[in-house]
Amino acid sequence: MNKRSFINRKYFINRKFQLEFSFRFLLIIAAASIAVVLLFFYNARGTMTAGYMGTGVKLLQTGTYFLPSLVASTVVIVIFSCLTGAFAMIMLSHRIAGPIFRFNATMDELKAGDLTRRFNLRNKDHFKELADRINALSDAMDRKVGDIKSRADEISGIIEGLQSVSASQPAWKEELALPLQEMAEKLRALQEDAGYFNTSPPK
């Protein structure tokens, strides 16, 4: 991937979903860090620690002695974890939000009758297996509806042929007129229903 395509990539496809997804992950990191600090103070309760403070040695409670350095290191770790975690979550949520966006767009087109549309997902995207299964279903529907259209056209040709024959045979004309008219009307209704769908050209 070149530098231009990396810069132009749209990472926020579903901004609300991705931000909520990342924010909840960052809350987990912050909660875990606070839990570690509280656990340390809980385990250090009632203990004393001797250490150098300035030029002398002082004896302090363990929690009080380590509090400044513990708070500083915890803040640094939380900030670093939040920054790296936010980037990682945006990248991860992009691979979830992207397929969902394409699912919605393609499903709308299929609903509108375009059976030639397919889900095009990258191999690293989530839901790739689901997209392949839906594409297989769309392929089957595309073929079946296409077959219905082809057979309807064939039946239309047969009806037109029968109408021509009945017109040239006065003895059959009255007997076949009504059945052929009903068949033609039902066939037109079938063609209209099938015509709602856009299918691949017959092979």
**Domain layout of the chain by residue ranges:** 3-112, 134-195
117 and 110 Cβ atoms separated by less than 8 Å: yes
Question: What is the distance between the alpha carbons of residues 57 and 69, in angstroms, rounded to a whole number?
Answer: 17
Cβ burial 2-37 (10 Å sphere, 16+ → b, else e): eeeeeeeeeeebbeeebeebbeebbeebeeebeeeb
User: Of 8, 23, 10, 20, which Cα lies nearest the Cα of 94?
Assistant: 10
Mean pLDDT value across the chain:
76
Query: Is pLDDT of 151 > 70?
Result: yes
Digit-coded pLDDT (tens) for 170-192: 766 666 777 777 888 888 888 88
Q: Which helix (H) or strand (E) holds 73?
A: helix 62-111
Query: Is pLDDT of 8 > 70?
Result: no
**Quick one: DSSP state of residue 198?**
B
Average pLDDT over residues 16-20: 71
Counted residue by residue, the chain has a size of 203
Digit-coded pLDDT (tens) for 48-62: 666 666 666 666 666
Average pLDDT over residues 104-125: 83
